[in-house]
Amino acid sequence: MKLLLTSGGVTNASIHRELQQMLDKPIEECDALFIPTAQWGHPMCSPRSAWRSAAGTGSDLVDLGWASVGLLELTALPSIDTSRWRDWVLDADVLLVDGGEAVYLAHWMRESGFVDLIPELSRTVWVGVSAGSMVLTPRVGREFLEWRPDGDDGTLGLVDFSVFPHLDYPGWDENTGENARRWAESIGGPAYAIDDQTAIAVVDGRARVVSEGDWLAFGLEPRDSSSKE
């Protein structure tokens, strides 16, 4: 897969341009699947927030002019035969994976069997928002555990770095650069802290920062965290 790991979605022209470059055809010819599952694991989310995201109300994800957008709820998949939904995933050009609680999302990716399809998604673009990005990392840090606060903070480890999203987000006093540095020390591995105007593009295993905002890199070689755009 090609990965576009964002904090807030496709929020500016640089991230939009990166997304278009990842796709093998224009956005208006691409079929998308929207995955809201992570929302159900986070106490700040609700049926209203899930609807707003899926409907594109105030969203920088669903309302980008896709040829079609379908909704895929991972918690429902164990109750239906895999043969019914497998092609829905394989036929999608892009997976739009919403934010919420990353460990909860990782749980349902495994429980549903979705994670078993990942090796077959070589042409698919994954666009993650917040937890939808964090789920692909090795760890999220205890600061981001909401579903099971005393549980394991490990996620899927499909990339080799962790992500601290919503850096310096207005009104979120815990999301400062200093707290991100402390978080990175506890993670004990390569990591990025990114604001909502920043994304990390991963193509052929190589990560590159795409940003019109602010970001920090921890424990990364210079080639892994390219300059702001």
- What pLDDT sits at residue 221? 65
8 A C-beta contact, residue 158 and residue 127: no
Residue 28's Cβ-count burial label (10 Å; 0-12, 13-18, 19+) is exposed
- What pLDDT sits at residue 20? 97
Greatest extent of the chain over all pairs of C-alpha atoms, in Å:
48
Strands in the chain per DSSP E:
2-6, 31-35, 68-71, 94-97, 125-129, 162-164, 191-194, 198-203, 206-211, 215-218
47's tokens: 């049926």
**Which stretches of the chain drop beneath a pLDDT of 50?**
222-229
- What pLDDT sits at residue 112? 97
- What pLDDT sits at residue 220? 81
Of the candidates 165, 154, 46, 51, which has an alpha carbon nearest to the alpha carbon of residue 104? 154
- What pLDDT sits at residue 227? 42
pLDDT in tens, 59-72: 679 999 999 999 99
Supply the DSSP string of 37-84, one letter for each residue: GGGGG-TT--HHHHHHHHHTTT-SSS-S--SEEEE--GGGGGGS-HHH
Q: How many residues does the chain have?
A: 229
- What pLDDT sits at residue 226? 44
Residue 196's Cβ-count burial label (10 Å; 0-12, 13-18, 19+) is buried
Is the C-alpha dihedral spanning 215, 219, 222, 226 positive or negative? negative
β-bridge pairing 94-97 and 31-35: parallel
Distance of alpha carbon 162 from alpha carbon 208, whole angstroms: 14
- What pLDDT sits at residue 225? 44
- What pLDDT sits at residue 224? 45
- What pLDDT sits at residue 223? 43
φ and ψ at residue 154, rounded to 5 degrees? -75, 145
Identity at 226, one-letter amino acid code: S
User: Which residue ranges form the domains of the chain, and what is each CATH number?
Assistant: 2-224 (3.40.50.880)
The radius of gyration of the chain from alpha carbons, rounded to an integer in Å, stands at 16
- What pLDDT sits at residue 59? 61
pLDDT in tens, 195-213: 999 999 999 999 999 999 9
